[in-house]
Amino acid sequence: MSHPFRYIALAAALSLAGCQPVNTTNGGAVGVQRQQYMFSMLSSQQVDQMYAQSYQKTIGEATTAGKLDNNSADAKRVKAIAARLIPQTGAFRQDAPGWQWQVNVIKSDELNANCGPGGKIIFYSGLIDKLQLTDDEIAAVMGHEIAHALREHGREQMSRAYAVQMGESLGGALLGLGQGGMQLADQVVQYSLTLPNSRENENEADLIGLELAARAGYNPNAALTLWQKMGQAGGDAPPEILSTHPADSTRMANLQAAIPKVMPLYEQAKGRN
Ligand SMILES: [Zn+2]
């Protein structure tokens, strides 16, 4: 099918399945323009609330286990970097700087980091220590994870899953939403953090993350060294984050191509810091 027809057919199919076109973000200097569709009965607020519960549980468990790290040098670096990145989210969506952001570091060997719906950031100390990440590299991975939250990729992936489900059952599945099988809250966690994102979503998060870091005065070239380090940490025990974020040549090539677009923003920001 030619492009416009394919687009119209997709839009029609998704709208029949209860999905509506949504623009979560502006395109930014990196030009992320893909039209998104969200299931109309699954609001951002609903997803954020359900995710916040799971986040609080994770933080509560880490606190009980004595693993929550608020005072180490790592924790201070992570919080300082977040404090510079978060205000830059306004360049992509106006509401984001006002979200109830939370930033925590958990002591763990895991090589992982995430930012769930609504701006709930967790860094695992293993990622910083084992890969000896610089501040610029921490900003690169944090920017990437924040970008998933800004684009609401978790909600979008859930919406697609519901659209497929509805298509299969000719609409009847809508009534079963959240019943039977997995609870809705578990699905939010799964679609936001656990399941691999599509290649397209990964690319969007790379591009927006690159721009967020540059706007905050962090060197965008660090995105390349970050993913090189991730790739080298593979082998027998690949980093947890690699299961959802392959550090492949496509990612590297796309990052490399986008860096010149954000370099002027980095130069401007560097002058201010
Ligand atoms: Zn990602």
Q: How many domains does the chain have?
A: 1
Q: Which domain holds residue 30?
A: 9-164+193-272
Helical residues (DSSP H) of 86-198, grouped into ranges: 125-130, 135-150, 153-168, 184-189
- The reply to whether 106 falls in a domain is yes
What the block records as the tokens of 105 is 């570091």
- Residue 211 designated active-site: no
Tokens, residue 82: 């977040």
pLDDT band at 106; cut points 50, 70, 90 = very high
How far away, in angstroms, is 224 Cα from ligand 1 center?
15
pLDDT at 155: 93
**Model-level pTM?**
0.88
Of the candidates 203, 187, 217, 200, which has an alpha carbon nearest to the alpha carbon of residue 256? 203
Q: Is residue 139 part of a domain?
A: yes
Residue-wise pLDDT tens digits, 145-187: 999 999 999 999 888 887 777 666 544 444 444 444 457 777 7
Residue 201 domain-assigned?
yes
Start-to-end C-alpha separation, the chain: 50
Indicate which residue of 61, 110, 137, 145 is catalytic.
Answer: 145
Compute, in angstroms, the gap from residue 208 CA to the centroid of ligand 1: 11
How many residues in the chain?
273
What number is the average pLDDT over the span 101-111? 95
| pLDDT average, residue stretch 126-148 | 97
- Cα separation, 252 vs 223, whole angstroms: 9
At residue 42 the predicted structure's pLDDT band, cuts being 50, 70 and 90, is confident
Q: Tell me if 107 is assigned to some domain.
A: yes
Q: Is the pLDDT of residue 2 over 50?
A: no
**Which tops the pLDDT comparison, 4 or 111?**
111
Whether residue 186 lies inside any domain: the answer is no
Distance CA(7)–CA(148), nearest Å, equals: 23
Q: What is the mean pLDDT of the chain?
A: 87
Ligand 1 centroid, distance to 205 Cα (angstroms): 6
Is the pLDDT at 17 greater than 70? The verdict is no
Ligand 1 centroid to Cα of residue 172, in Å, is: 33
From ligand 1's centre to the CA of 153, what distance in Å?
A: 9
